[in-house]
Amino acid sequence: MRTYELLSIIKPNIDSEEYDKIVSKIEENIVALEGKVTSVDKMGRKKLSYDIKDYRDGYFAVQTFEMEPAQVEKFKRQLRLNEDIIRTMLLEVSEVKA
């Protein structure tokens, strides 16, 4: 398994309860694809540097998880299908060797 970090920007026109549900749904998708969530950081609502899909701000969430590389494409597809997520960035986290 490899370690990944996902930054999600969620639409700002939802309430905080719905924001929590969306973040939980992302975690459920990770677990359904035999992954393991190691940390979740709900950063709250922040202003964007530029408009994305006519939104000036959004709710940010960072999740660190482990998943098999073969499952990552399926996971990315699920993220694209979620209409409440306006932007994502998925990075593979590698260990720095000294």
Domains and CATH numbers, the chain: 2-93 (3.30.70.60)
pLDDT class of 22 with cuts at 50, 70, 90: very high
Say if residue 55's pLDDT is above 70.
Answer: yes
Residue 16, pLDDT score: 85
Using CA atoms, how far residue 2 sits from 34, 39, 64, in Å, is 12, 14, 11
Please tell me the distance from the alpha carbon of residue 22 to that of residue 82, in angstroms, as a whole number.
9
Residue 97, pLDDT score: 60
pTM: 0.87
Longest dimension (CA), the chain: 45
Q: Which residue is associated with the tokens 């990075």?
A: 91
Type of residue numbered 86 = I
Of 61, 63, 70, 75, nearest in space to 37 by CA: 63
